[in-house]
Chains A and B, each alone.
Chain A
Amino acid sequence: QSALTQPASVSGSPGQSITISCTGTSSDVGGYNYVSWYQQHPGKAPKLMIYDVSNRPSGVSNRFSGSKSGNTASLTISGLQAEDEADYYCSSYTSSSTIYVFGTGTKVTVL
């Protein structure tokens, strides 16, 4: 099971919106509405930001939103803030024997 494909880095200025893509196959992202997104600051544990494609856990800012089209899921961060600078990973349920697959990770830089 190969990792889902994410851009290595995305950057934006404070206040701008950015979008991170997560491309898989019909066996994972495209086949199920079980895509999650995690934020990880350096030296910290990951934090769930979006689950089931577009749902936000309690306490997560509504500046974070998720969507999916075909085999590609996306995370959009609007009103970019300095605290959003972190690594972001997507994850999907997969029909393979390894039932979860993560993305390659995207480093978000706030300029």
Chain B
Amino acid sequence: EVQLVESGGGLVQPGRSLRLSCAASGFTFDDYAMHWVRQAPGKGLEWVSGISWNSGSIGYADSVKGRFTISRDNAKNSLYLQMNSLRAEDTALYYCAKSKRGIYSSSPFDYWGQGTLVTVSS
């Protein structure tokens, strides 16, 4: 059974940093691309970032480019999102999502975690 468990969320002041983690199990982690997708309270879904199976290709939404960094450790079956210079508009539930394919582009998200909440507020 595929499981994705996010952690690392919390309350943080504007301008500070936070690192999210996603622990994956139930599938061969290094065969698939992975993504972060967020959902602000009461709002829709927004793709944040994606990384290919071997970290060779990485992409970011324009809204987070230059502030967020995605990475993965295939030996630990883990996905990460380093979030710097956080803003109030980054407040959201952050989901870790598995890609259906090894490439991170043009591939649907076939499994999702339950999310970790990030609140940016002074």
Contact = CB atoms under 8 A, between A and B. Distances in A.
Interface residues of B, number: 27
Nearest to A101: B47
Interface residues of A, number: 25
Interface in B91-118: 95, 100, 104-115
Nearest to B96: A45
A23 B108 CA distance: 18
A89 B45 contact: yes
B31 interface: no
B46 A99 contact: no
Interface in A71-111: 89, 91, 93, 97-105
A66 to B, nearest CB: 11
B44 A89 contact: yes
Contact of B115 (A34, A45, A101): A45
Contact of A102 (B45, B50, B63, B107): B45
B59 interface: yes
Given A45-B114, A89-B44, A98 B109 contact: no
Contact of B95 (A46, A104, A105): A46
Contacts of A65: none
Given A1-B62, A98-B62, A99-B50, A46 B45 contact: yes
A93 B112 contact: no
